[in-house]
């Protein structure tokens, strides 16, 4: 029987872009470019390696987000995943991590899975709790923050590296795992992979397909609320030291005044 691997990926705003809040205190996505979360690329890579080591495996990439989130799926498909699922619905606007975990769990149950692979966190929210929430909602084991992962004999095994020691962990499938940015560099899509991704199937589902009420997600269903936000202060010109023979001394005095030395 084919090993069914599902990788949960997120379409995030480019961290190098100039990001702003909309009137409802959600991110104004119209004002910034988006891309596949870099930390999720490691999850795709590990899924590909697991599939390559298996006799028979299929990789599905799953995302929740606006229309442009398909770009994140296409990136993962161009890396080598087999198919994609995009959950999109206007009522999802403003959904927090708890609502997102509900949508992903329902989608995973509908799609079918043996192994769910996630990145260690998203590069925008950086909460890192989604894999645990998925594990709880699905009622399956979680093996998280792995720097090494493998699957064999119906068991997923991995190594979690801590500050003082490393742990060897394992769980029976089905299971949820997350991998860190130390698990191995993600491959670059080849030209052949990019062209092939255009022909790979991507299913589109909405809340009705997943039997989720609009009130369970979106801003109204969020467990967390942003009450206020202000723009970051503009960067000041800073202190300019003109070196006329005393530049080093002035620099040292400035650093000492800021308690850097």
pLDDT value at residue 76: 97
Break the chain down into helix, strand, coil percent, rounded to 5. 30, 25, 45
Tokens for 154, please give them. 């119906």
Q: How many residues does the chain have?
A: 261
* Angle, alpha carbons 185-178-211 (nearest 5°): 125
pLDDT value at residue 105: 98
CA distance 168 to 142: 13
Bridge partners, residue 150, by sequence: 157
Cα–Cα distances in angstroms (integers) from residue 113 to residues 5, 44, 110, 140, 179, in the given order: 6, 15, 9, 11, 18
pLDDT value at residue 57: 96
pLDDT value at residue 25: 77
Segment-wise mean pLDDT, segments of 10 residues, the chain, 261 residues: 94 77 75 87 97 95 94 96 97 93 98 97 87 97 96 95 93 97 94 95 97 93 86 79 82 86 86
Cα–Cα distances in angstroms (integers) from residue 100 to residues 3, 29, 130, in the given order: 25, 17, 8
pTM, two decimal places: 0.85
pLDDT value at residue 229: 82
């Amino acid at each position: 029987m084919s090993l069914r691997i599902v990788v949960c990926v997120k379409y995030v705003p480019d961290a190098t872009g100039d990001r702003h809040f909309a009137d409802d205190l959600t991110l104004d996505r119209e004002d910034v470019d988006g891309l596949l979360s870099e930390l999720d690329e490691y999850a795709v890579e590990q899924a590909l390696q697991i599939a390559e080591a298996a006799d028979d495996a299929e990789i599905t990439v799953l995302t929740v987000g606006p229309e442009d989130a398909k770009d994140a799926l296409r990136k993962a498909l161009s890396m080598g995943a087999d198919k994609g699922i995009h959950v999109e619905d206007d009522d999802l606007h403003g959904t927090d991590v708890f609502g997102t975990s509900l949508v992903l769990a329902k989608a995973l149950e509908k799609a079918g899975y043996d192994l769910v692979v996630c990145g260690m966190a998203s590069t925008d929210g950086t909460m890192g709790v989604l894999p645990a929430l998925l594990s709880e909602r699905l009622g399956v084991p979680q093996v998280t923050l792995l720097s090494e992962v493998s699957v064999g004999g119906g068991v997923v095994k991995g190594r979690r590296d801590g500050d003082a020691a490393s742990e060897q962990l394992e769980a029976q499938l089905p299971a949820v795992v997350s991998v860190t940015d130390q698990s191995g560099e993600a491959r670059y899509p080849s030209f052949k992979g990019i062209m092939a991704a255009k022909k790979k199937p991507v299913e589109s589902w909405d809340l009705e397909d997943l039997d989720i009420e609009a009130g369970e997600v979106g801003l109204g269903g969020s467990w967390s609320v942003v009450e206020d936000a202000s723009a970051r202060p503009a960067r000041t010109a800073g202190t300019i030291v003109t070196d006329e023979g005393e530049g080093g001394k002035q620099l040292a005095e400035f650093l000492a005044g800021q308690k850097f030395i």
